[in-house]
């Protein structure tokens, strides 16, 4: 299997895990902000997504400028290296604004790669 297919599938899996936490723990910012397990889990998933994005080739991601690839990878760095300083509202906004778009885009890329 192409490494990029595996990476994209992993990104989708972590996006799905974030959606599962939303379904399980609540879909509003207050529930997220008040539950350390909730934001710890989602932060971990975002960190893993950022790691996989860093491994995708520039030629692949440059065709999808609607995704803030560098911003997502940068969010990983912020979480990994300065977690105690992370603004949880920023994480929540990132989850609701970026994750669904990222997931859909990764699925689109996969469809093109496996044809």
Instruction: Please identify every residue annotated as catalytic.
Output: 76, 81
Structure tokens at 98: 């970026």
**Are the CB atoms for 47 and 76 separated by under 8 Å?**
yes
Please spell the DSSP secondary structure of 30-56, one letter per residue: HHHHH-HHHHHHHHHHHHHHHHHHHHS
Which DSSP state fits 70?
H
C-alpha angle 50-51-55 in degrees, rounded to nearest 5: 110
């Amino acid at each position: 299997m192409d490494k990029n297919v595996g990476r994209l599938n992993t990104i989708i899996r972590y996006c799905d895990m974030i959606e599962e936490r939303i379904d399980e723990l609540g879909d509003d910012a207050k529930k997220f902000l008040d539950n350390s397990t909730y934001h710890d889990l989602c932060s971990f998933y975002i960190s893993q997504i950022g790691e996989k994005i860093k491994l995708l080739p520039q030629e692949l991601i440059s065709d999808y400028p609607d995704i803030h690839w560098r911003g997502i990878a940068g969010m990983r760095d912020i979480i990994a290296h300065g977690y105690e300083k992370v603004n949880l509202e920023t994480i929540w906004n990132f989850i609701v604004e970026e994750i669904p778009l990222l997931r859909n885009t990764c699925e689109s890329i996969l469809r093109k790669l496996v044809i």
